Amino acid sequence: MPIVLDDTTHLLVLTGAGISAESGVPTFRDANGLWNSHRFEDLASPEGFAADPLLVWKFYSQRRRGLDNVKPNAAHHALVAVEQRLGERFLLVTQNVEGLHAAAGSRRMVEMHGNIMRTKCSGCRRTPFDDRASHDVLPPCDECGEPLRPDVVWFGEAIPPRALDAIDGFLKRGTNLVFLAVGTSGVVYPAAGLVDVVRRAGGASWLVNAEAPANVSRFDHVEIGPAGTVLPALFA
């Protein structure tokens, strides 16, 4: 069943790792997911980084290398086409850090968990900078000497205020609100709670996922299947 998008629809889309799976990017919690072979406490938390920063850098460097020849898929492109139809009545919120939505051409988009291709300082407020390098030694900050780190959001860290403000602003503006979550297991907050926020605001909720995730019962419409096939058909 397609999503009906009329002249008043405000569409808020949340994506997770599953939307990039068909591009060859590993997810986190599937059978071959990153958190099945690595302890997320060691690699995706400030405590893990403090305990062994080089281990963390090597993990992210390996993931950067794995993105060298990765391209957006039909699901990323379908979201670009919908954005072009809806204009400012569209907002894409992604938990993904690999930049495939931007590569596909999405512009009304916030990366709520940061971007793996940027680096920031763990010690000072220096502005994050683009960085595709693979660091197998620990890079120190030019300005304060503390270790640099990837510009991603680890467990226990705050979501960038810019991302939260964009979501709040969109929800306040939005009449005839539709929420669509794609390829996310619904266990990481605050992203997993967005469906409830939209429902409280009277919006309809859709889910496209390869399997039923943790928060499936909170969606009005559920389409189980690969995003690259289901999403283009959903907007047909």
Question: Could you give the residue ranges of the DSSP H alpha helices within the chain?
Answer: 34-37, 40-43, 46-51, 53-66, 74-86, 100-104, 161-173, 194-200, 227-234
Q: Which of 8, 220, 22, 180 is nearest to 94 (CA)?
A: 180
Give the contacts of 114 (CB within 8 A, at least 6 positions apart).
97, 150, 151, 152, 153, 160
Under the criterion CB under 6 A, does residue 213 sit at the interface with ligand BJW?
yes
Q: Which does 156 bind (CB under 5 to 8 A by kind): Zn ion, ligand BJW, none?
A: ligand BJW
Rounded Cα gap, residues 218 and 13, in angstroms: 15
Q: Is position 113 annotated as part of the catalytic site?
A: yes
Measured from the CB atom, is 63 or 89 closer to ligand BJW? 63
Binding-site size for ligand BJW (CB under 6 A) equals 35
What is the smallest separation between the CB atom of 112 and ligand BJW, expressed in angstroms? 8
Tokens of 37: 């072979």
Under the criterion CB under 6 A, does residue 209 sit at the interface with ligand BJW?
yes
Answer for the pair 110, 165: CB distance below 8 angstroms, yes or no: no
Segment 96 to 135, residues that bind Zn ion, using CB under 5 A: 121, 123-124, 126
Identify the residue whose tokens are 């993904």: 96
Site string for ligand BJW, 51-90 (x = CB under 6 A): ----------------------------------------
Residues lying near ligand BJW in the complex (CB under 6 A) are found at: 16-18, 21-22, 27-30, 33, 44, 95, 97, 113, 152-159, 183-185, 187-190, 209-211, 213, 226-227
Which are the catalytic amino acids? 113
